[in-house]
Amino acid sequence: NAGVTQTPKFQVLKTGQSMTLQCAQDMNHEYMSWYRQDPGMGLRLIHYSVGAGITDQGEVPNGYNVSRSTTEDFPLRLLSAAPSQTSVYFCASRRLGYNEQFFGPGTRLTVL
């Protein structure tokens, strides 16, 4: 099993550009989520999904969109990148009913 995979590992955007961060898991986990990590602020939940076709907002959803068309994939879209979105983004998954989360390796995003 590859676990949770994320692409790209690094990305530099200009203000106003859009892009999609990819996340996939091969563990058949129902629950998937996106976090952003900023220095000294821990991980903050952006969006999450409890299954295909179901998504919900987390703590900091503004400026981000998600969709969940399959169990395996949970892409995060930045509609119009802003410097405040410079961060490290982690995707995570777990099986519903179990609380251990498995994190991907992260995407380091810089918005100029």
Partner 1 sequence: GQQVMQIPQYQHVQEGEDFTTYCNSSTTLSNIQWYKQRPGGHPVFLIQLVKSGEVKKQKRLTFQFGEAKKNSSLHITATQTTDVGTYFCAGQGAAGNKLTFGGGTRVLVKP
Footprint on this chain of partner 1 (rule: CB under 8 A): 31, 33, 35, 40-45, 48, 50, 56, 58-59, 90, 92, 99-106
Minimal distance, residue 92 CB to partner 1, in Å: 8
Q: How far is the CB of 65 from partner 1 (least distance, A)?
A: 19
Q: How far apart are CA 9 and CA 49, in angstroms?
A: 22
- Dist CA 16 CA 98 (whole Å): 39
**For partner 1, the closer CB: 6 or 85:** 6
Is the Cβ of residue 15 or residue 38 nearer to partner 1 in the bound state?
A: 38
Least distance from partner 1 to the Cβ atom of residue 24, Å: 15
For the CB of residue 103, give the shortest distance to partner 1 in the complex, in Å. 4
Q: How far apart are the first and last CA of the chain?
A: 36
Nearby residues of 3 by Cβ (< 8 Å), 6 or more positions away = 25, 26, 27, 102, 104
Considering the complex, state which of residue 4 and residue 81 has its C-beta at the smaller distance from partner 1: 4
| Residue with smaller CB distance to partner 1, 5 or 17 | 5
Q: Is 99 left (phi over 0), alpha (psi -120 to 50) or beta?
A: alpha
